[in-house]
Structure 1
Amino acid sequence: MGALTVERVTCEYRTNPLGLSAAQPRLSWQLRSDRRGTLQRAYRIVVAAGEDCYEDPLWDSGRTESDQSIQVPYDGPGLSSRTRYYYRVKVWDNHGRESEWSETAWWEMGLLDHSEWSAQWITPEAGAIDPQEEAAFLLRRGFELHGGAIASARIYATAAGVYELYVNGERVSDELLVPGWTSYPNRLQYQTYDVTGLLQTGRNVAGIRLGDGWYKSGMGFEGKNFKYGDRRAALLQLHVRYTDGREEVIGTDGTWTAATGGIRYSTIYHGETYDARLEPAGWSTAEPSAMDGGWKPVEVLDLRLDTLVAQENSPVRVTERLRPVSAFVTPAGDHVLDLGQNMVGRMRFEVTAPAGTRIVLRHAEVLDKDGNIYFGNLRPAKQTVEYICRGGEAESYAPHFSFMGFRYVKVEGFPGQENGLPLEAFTGEVMHSDMEPAGEFDCSNELVNQLQRNIQWGQRGNFLDVPTDCPQRDERLGWTGDAQVFIGTALFNYQGGPFFTKWLRDLKAEQLPDGGVPFVIPDVVGGASSAAWGDAAVICPWTVYRYYDDRRLLAEQYDSMQAWVEYIRAQGENEYLWNTGFHFGDWLALDAKENSYIGATPKELVATAYYAHSTRLLRDSATVLGYEDDARRYGELHQGIVRAFREEFVTATGRIASPTQTAHVLALMFDLVDDRVKPRVAKDLNDLIAENGYHLSTGFVGTPYLCFALSNSGYHDTAVKLLLQESYPGWLYSVSKGATTIWEHWDSIKPDGSFWSDDMNSFNHYAYGAIGEWMYRRVAGLDMDDAVPAYKRVRIEPLFGGRKLTHARAAHRSLYGRVETGWRMDGEEIEVHVEIPANTTAEVVLKGASLAALKEGGADTAASEGVESAVGTEQGARLVVGSGTYRFRYRAADLFRVTYTLETTIQDLLEDEAAERALRKHIPHLMDSPMLNFAKNNSLRQLSENGMSRVKKEQVLAVLQELAG
């Protein structure tokens, strides 16, 4: 009997989560097997009230015949607040094996009812400390514990603002900027902390440091404070349980005291000022001297408790630390640190200096063409940290309640900096929502590998509690359009289930009564709804479902999805077109008119295309959820929109009426033209790109789908050429200019070193990083079956990469386990390796493979364990395999070799009439050969139809000579 084990047992996406509110938490697990083709046939879950109570469980699923190993809901008796539940899992597989029990895991419930909050919201008394005081507040209370040995202690806490929590002088958690940014009038997260080890018998002290955060800072373009409220406040409730079963509750109330401390100023956009001389020593400890310094009374505020929800998102933490790579003096005379990476977070430094020494850090993303640090693109945001030393001993400091987007730091006032800044004194602390890394990609082109790193760094920098557009200037808002175009790439690279669950609940909470969706979530901007932005209400829940089989979130968001589609239906002059209202259109497209940010693709075309797309996804969601009437109704609406689109935007001869790349991309990707017309539309798109020197002209709307539209239509070589384009505009242009994140504009830095503008020029703007999804799914070939979510049925189909890409690899840590594929071309030899996790299967399509000659692990493929079926096709081989690791190797069939050779020779096309004539002369003969009968959309057909006019003569003649031989 081989080994079958249950691993990585999780609850609601997390390992041992503390403070849940879900009435039926969902459990997931992964299988590890030493045999290929392993599938789960049954499972058993046991949930108990104690770690040693499985003999008398709270719930025992019994042996349940099912292959479901993710998102399995607890189905036992009702759960109680503040209670920990232990569970374990075992499984049976298709090889007749029974696993051992998994290791014990647990989840713990939070406060499940608002009536359980006995604590009160508190803030400093207005007569004692000005409510508009810029300094952060310190709140504290001492209390005695004499009930005996402490079994457990939990704090439930939140703030109108942001807070740090201390018990007996110790930080309770490494979480930052809690409670995060939500739709505060509707939803405010509270956090749960285990403080058992921090309490002691006798005297104890709880302390809260309270800042403005998103709640009271001037978020948005107007810079106005008090969007949510004009007074900071804190709420804390401590539950102590003694070993004899007794409990004690201590909460915020009028007995607490208040003061101000070292933080004199702190906001999201502008940074923080800290005077270490003013920080009361030991203020959160039980030392008697901690009360020195004029502590003031607090008052109770009448803020709501019914909006409180348990923490949903992964909290913000420091996830990495970077040392500066260099320090230098600019031509302007500034002392500057270079972190070597455009990052988001804060600088920590250590210093020993006399009391009153003032150190100032100003943060920026780039240097100008003269080598001076550049602050222009920050707009009013200051991104400045000021620290005033206490003196007398070594001091360490990093901002508490602000974050910056930066690579370079201008330093003023650091002791001895005239002799050079000491690199060892400074550390960049990278901050973002602490999502588990999930995706990997690399290939033979190092510039593309850097692009992948830039994509991931851009996500890390902008997924700081909400999916912001940029992390540095006076914006940092949850733009819906950016989120929806990038979510596929985002969920491949990081485990984003909790992140998007929280954000989508805010979107639903802030959706307008007529179904419209604000431009940013949480909404501090207002404004009407726009196509491709408001569509986040539909696209994002559907994509989360696709990645994680999260039907609960899909059902929860369904009303919001439906409301958005019905909003659109009410906007147009008829129910099938959206041709009214404001739209961002193809934002920042390069075919925009002078002095316009909106591309040339008609906004009505963009709006109607997205109307069709969201309606289809709503139909599909209704089908998944079993809403049959809705599925039928929205299926009919979708058909009507498609008909209207064709009548309005497609000519009688099958051309897209708007001659833009984006118009053709949307028509292809959203299936808005019928199969008869698609080849012509795809050819026209390819021609538009070729005529533009193999450069794109798309903006936010067209760019994410551009390479998909090409690859799906048989023009993968053109898509690869776009990816590898190093000149402006192209993804590798910014890489060639030294970018370490994704830019907002294709030419944020122009070839001459000047900047696009000061007005709107972020160097960390993830939207164009959406190309990553195509790299993973088409270049590496790692995808999931359209009909089965969460990589339960994997689809492996590498399209290979032409002459300039000789290998590529992608891996993703799905809920079922690690999925990986990679390919390598060595002359005419192709090797493809595949890793499929237990309890899943995969369809593997190997382009150019002859089934008879295909080897797996050195043996005949058909005889390999785990290969369920194998058939030959005109284009190669198609296999169905079970779980396990496979290595396929084959010599490209003649047909594939001919096609691939031709594809690789047209990468660098030059005008040469003689070469064109030679190519035209020989292609008809090739097209008539039996081995090319299938070629309806491959590169040979494209060459014949296009009459390629830019081919190196010597290359073409060499290929033709080889073919003739």
Structure 2
Amino acid sequence: MSFSDTRVWQAYWISFGATMVDWNAKNFPAPYFRKEFEIAEPKDCKLYICGLGFHEVRINGRRVSDFELAPAQAKYDAHAGYLVHDVSNLLVSGRNTIGVTLGNGLYNCQTAEVWHFDKATWRDYPKMIAELTSDGQTILASDHTWKVTNKGPIIFDSLRNGEYYDARLEMPGWDQNGFNDSAWQNATITAGPGGILYEQTSAPCRVTRTFPMHKLGGGIWDAGQNLAGRAEIKVRGKAGSCIKIQYGDVLNPDGTLYLDNIARFVKSGEFQTERYTLKGEATEVWHSHFTYHGFRYAAVEITGEAELVSMTAQAIHSDVRQVGDFTCSDPDMNALKQCTYWSYLNNFVGIPTDCPHREKNGWMNDAQLVSDTGLFFFDGKETYREWLGTIRDCMRPNGQLPGMAPTSGWGYNWGSGPMFDTILFGIPRNIYIYRGDAVPMRENYEPFKRALAFTESLAKGHLVRFGLGDWMHPFAERAVVPELPTTAWYYHELKMLVEAAKLFGYEEDVKRYSELAEQVFHAFNREFSNGNGSYANNEKTALAVAVQFGFCTGKEVANAVRILLDSVRKDAHIADFGIVGAKFVPRVLAEHGYADDGFKIFTQDQYPGWCKWVRDGETTLCEDFAGKYSHNHIMYGDLFAWMMQYAAGIEPDFSRPGFHEVVLKPRLIASLHNMTASYDTIYGKIKIEWQRVNGEIQFKAELPDNIPGRLERPDGATLAIQKTLNTHWKE
């Protein structure tokens, strides 16, 4: 979004008073703030609050909302989000009490790790600003009269390390009238984080689903699903006994928790660990507040006399509305859909991330590769828009972008490049295609031009050698040279900008970037084309990229597709490519009449391939086909969009933004007996259903009211659709 906000605050930023003067500053327990106040008659009461890193708010003993881990991570010295809550039903006439607890989050990332967020320019102790209005008038504002203590039960919290809670330090009634806060100190007025405040309107994080965890033995508990979130425990025992929980998503052969890979970048403190110290009541229920973990399993250690009665996994993610779905007759594809569903949500906790455990970082390449899936699955438009604002905040004056956002300054000279920069316009373009909104493209148009200027400054002879290339190829020696996909992506970026410039009527930009794109086109073909549809060493990614981005024309297209098809079939449809080929090889095959082969790439169950993960019992997608690294990644998740676009036939197109006109072009996968799919557009729901019955295809479709559409059948026939269609034809 544009991050424009005209709100004038009457409140002050406040903290518990400590000053951070170096990176090795002392850690403090979580601060608790409270304030009692009077209100004559609550009327249309709104609470405006930004508490960094994370905050929880209570009024008169009740939580203000079910939001978790708020606000979303940002580059806090550029912008920070505030939340607006309607609290009318929590207030009473007369005396009331507000209580706020702050966690460190990414704002005060005290953990030493390889990305150096512990040295971020914005880093400071937790602080907050809050204002309460009634009928539009300010009746309460944060200032030095608020009381604060850091002697509460959350004695340690860290986004990457975990959280420790001592229930013996609980303060019953601290968030209600009449609590004795004489031992608390007055809050300190302090400087804000440096960034401009804006209202966060993206989907908040919530607990959306719970999974009962089952004890496996040896202190290991299993949720049955790899997820992002936390466990809620029910315990009983003597005061002072401690429950230690450590989270992970893979077990060693001996049944213990395997953490070597996901913990390797964290250099101080424990990893994904929580500790709960009992207060000694009959039954105690607890979950952490200011961290989350990527896990399926939890290793539990008990010291003292205590019993863990039960454990429930709570899935936490941005609560984006689901808008698309499919089911088909192939159980493996349905399982892969579920893996994609969970991988996407597990990696959208406030911002899109690569993984919810090892890094929790906003890697841009992962997000842009699956934005088709994201927008076919969920309405994440506003959540994407806000994160795009953070990406712009991370752009250097010369247009250089890091590989992830937010960043402390790491990632500008490695893990970035055109495939990453594409996100600045690729996601806005997809928002326009899927949700019919051109505003994000306008917001990011000029910044994207600056990013292109930076890429142009690095291009020698219009070839770009800066970037990771076809990352995570299972056979490194067979991977295409990185400059082929990075140059291709540079060309794609230029073509996207020309497309938008035409839409917006920017004729000078159309001319300039068309000419530059033409130069890149010829440079690419001079360097990589062998003629007659052959590219580089005919790696699958090289061929798919050349076709997908339009580098080969005329008869060369058919030749390149044939070379690709022969290679895919010769290798028994294994995934002989990295993340670039994973997106484009199946798409090119489907676009050119070989959707069955694209489907087989997803569903053959030998290494390397997607379905091998299903056979191995995975419930999410992995970072690599061998399963050596993260088991909760989304970058191979384009398969959902592939199924919606090709197998179901719901065709997204720049010329039909928001599906204001619907084209259905199903590729009837030979191994499928039936398929159903739906997509909730901004105009209403598209529904399709097809099945094979006695040598015929029976096809049904339903479109939103007043939306024109057509069915393009595989046999070449075209049928108009007015609201509904029920037809059949011989195969």
Q: 1:739 aligns with which of 618, 632, 644?
A: 618
In structure 2, what is the equivalent of residue 889 of structure 1?
728
* Local SS of the residue matching 1:876: coil
**CA offsets 1:327-381 (integer angstroms, 9 cap, x no match):** 221xxxx222211111111111222322112111111112233433322222255
Q: Indicate if the aligned counterparts of 1:272 and 1:401 stay in contact, CA closer than 8 A.
A: yes
**1:283 maps to amino acid:** W
* Local SS of the residue matching 1:784: coil
**1:258 maps to amino acid:** V
**CA offsets 1:238-270 (integer angstroms, 9 cap, x no match):** 1123xxx9x443111111121121101111111
Q: Indicate if the aligned counterparts of 2:35 and 2:98 stay in contact, CA closer than 8 A.
A: yes
Correspondence 1:429-508 to 2 at 5 A = 429-473=314-358, 475-508=359-392
Distance in 1, matches of 2:275 and 2:41, equals 45
**CA offsets 1:709-731 (integer angstroms, 9 cap, x no match):** 11112222321221221111111
Correspondence 1:508-587 to 2 at 5 A = 508-524=392-408, 525-528=410-413, 529-574=416-461, 576-578=462-464, 580=465, 582-587=466-471
Distance in 1, matches of 2:675 and 2:63, equals 45
Q: 1:285 aligns with which of 165, 176, 184?
A: 176
Q: Indicate if the aligned counterparts of 2:474 and 2:626 stay in contact, CA closer than 8 A.
A: no
Distance in 2, matches of 1:237 and 1:698, equals 53
In structure 2, what is the equivalent of residue 139 of structure 1?
33
Greater shift in the superposed pair: 301-310 or 666-675:
301-310
Shift, 1:304, TM fit:
5.7
**2:471 maps to amino acid:** W
In structure 1, what is the equivalent of residue 697 of structure 2?
830
1:224 to 1:189, Cα distance in 2 relative to 1, 3 A: closer
In structure 2, what is the equivalent of residue 254 of structure 1?
144
Distance in 2, matches of 1:349 and 1:199, equals 31
Shift, 1:653, TM fit:
4.0
Q: 1:150 aligns with which of 13, 29, 42?
A: 42
Distance in 1, matches of 2:222 and 2:532, equals 57
Distance in 2, matches of 1:616 and 1:604, equals 18
Correspondence 1:828-867 to 2 at 5 A = 828-847=695-714
Q: Over alpha carbons, which structure has the higher Rg?
A: 1
Q: Indicate if the aligned counterparts of 2:401 and 2:412 stay in contact, CA closer than 8 A.
A: no
**1:577 maps to amino acid:** L
Structure 1 residues not aligned, in runs of 5+: 1-11, 13-20, 24-111, 594-598, 749-755, 848-874, 893-965
Q: 2:718 aligns with which of 878, 881, 897?
A: 878
Q: Indicate if the aligned counterparts of 2:479 and 2:577 stay in contact, CA closer than 8 A.
A: no
Q: 1:614 aligns with which of 480, 487, 493?
A: 493
* Local SS of the residue matching 1:166: strand
Correspondence 1:375-774 to 2 at 5 A = 375-380=259-264, 382-413=271-302, 422=309, 425-473=310-358, 475-524=359-408, 525-528=410-413, 529-574=416-461, 576-578=462-464, 580=465, 582-593=466-477, 600-748=479-627, 756=628, 761-774=629-642
**CA offsets 1:742-772 (integer angstroms, 9 cap, x no match):** 0001110xxxxxxx2xxxx110001111122
Shift, 1:691, TM fit:
2.4
Q: Indicate if the aligned counterparts of 1:531 and 1:584 stay in contact, CA closer than 8 A.
A: no
Q: 1:795 aligns with which of 663, 669, 674?
A: 663
In structure 2, what is the equivalent of residue 165 of structure 1?
57
* Local SS of the residue matching 2:289: coil
In structure 2, what is the equivalent of residue 920 of structure 1?
none
**CA offsets 1:450-477 (integer angstroms, 9 cap, x no match):** 000000000110011111000011x111
Structure 2 residues not aligned, in runs of 5+: none
Greater shift in the superposed pair: 427-436 or 353-362:
353-362
Shift, 1:503, TM fit:
0.8
Distance in 2, matches of 1:440 and 1:414, equals 46
- Greater RCO (Cα-Cα under 8 Å, separation 6 or more): 2
**CA offsets 1:42-89 (integer angstroms, 9 cap, x no match):** xxxxxxxxxxxxxxxxxxxxxxxxxxxxxxxxxxxxxxxxxxxxxxxx
In structure 1, what is the equivalent of residue 126 of structure 2?
232
Match status 1:204 vs 2:96:
yes
Q: TM-score, normalised by structure 2?
A: 0.94
**1:134 maps to amino acid:** F
Shift, 1:891, TM fit:
2.2
Greater shift in the superposed pair: 529-538 or 261-270:
529-538
Shift, 1:654, TM fit:
3.8
Correspondence 1:77-116 to 2 at 5 A = 112-114=5-7, 116=8
Q: Indicate if the aligned counterparts of 1:335 and 1:417 stay in contact, CA closer than 8 A.
A: no
**CA offsets 1:373-396 (integer angstroms, 9 cap, x no match):** 322222255111110111224321
Match status 1:177 vs 2:65:
no
**2:640 maps to amino acid:** G
Match status 1:267 vs 2:158:
yes
Shift, 1:688, TM fit:
1.7
Distance in 1, matches of 2:685 and 2:19, equals 59
Match status 1:819 vs 2:686:
yes
Q: Indicate if the aligned counterparts of 2:421 and 2:451 stay in contact, CA closer than 8 A.
A: yes
Match status 1:216 vs 2:101:
no
Distance in 1, matches of 2:532 and 2:322, equals 48
In structure 1, what is the equivalent of residue 83 of structure 2?
191
Q: Indicate if the aligned counterparts of 1:134 and 1:266 stay in contact, CA closer than 8 A.
A: no
**2:512 maps to amino acid:** R
Distance in 1, matches of 2:322 and 2:117, equals 36
1:113 to 1:343, Cα distance in 2 relative to 1, 3 A: same
1:113 to 1:694, Cα distance in 2 relative to 1, 3 A: closer
Correspondence 1:54-65 to 2 at 5 A = none
In structure 2, what is the equivalent of residue 864 of structure 1?
none
Shift, 1:527, TM fit:
2.1
Distance in 1, matches of 2:112 and 2:388, equals 20
Distance in 2, matches of 1:592 and 1:644, equals 25
Percent identity, aligned pairs only, is: 30
Greater shift in the superposed pair: 396-405 or 789-798:
789-798
Match status 1:806 vs 2:669:
no
Greater shift in the superposed pair: 457-466 or 150-159:
150-159
1:224 to 1:437, Cα distance in 2 relative to 1, 3 A: closer
Shift, 1:416, TM fit:
8.6
**CA offsets 1:486-505 (integer angstroms, 9 cap, x no match):** 00001111111111111111
Number of residue pairs matched? 718
Shift, 1:22, TM fit:
9.1
Distance in 2, matches of 1:256 and 1:136, equals 16
Q: Indicate if the aligned counterparts of 1:183 and 1:506 stay in contact, CA closer than 8 A.
A: yes
* Local SS of the residue matching 1:346: strand
**1:189 maps to amino acid:** G
**CA offsets 1:859-884 (integer angstroms, 9 cap, x no match):** xxxxxxxxxxxxxxxx33111212x2
Distance in 1, matches of 2:41 and 2:426, equals 52
Distance in 2, matches of 1:22 and 1:189, equals 9
Shift, 1:220, TM fit:
5.4
Q: Indicate if the aligned counterparts of 2:428 and 2:438 stay in contact, CA closer than 8 A.
A: no
In structure 2, what is the equivalent of residue 778 of structure 1?
646
Greater shift in the superposed pair: 654-663 or 763-772:
654-663
* Local SS of the residue matching 1:772: helix
Shift, 1:648, TM fit:
1.6
* Local SS of the residue matching 2:635: helix
Q: Indicate if the aligned counterparts of 1:136 and 1:211 stay in contact, CA closer than 8 A.
A: yes
Shift, 1:131, TM fit:
7.7
Shift, 1:201, TM fit:
2.5
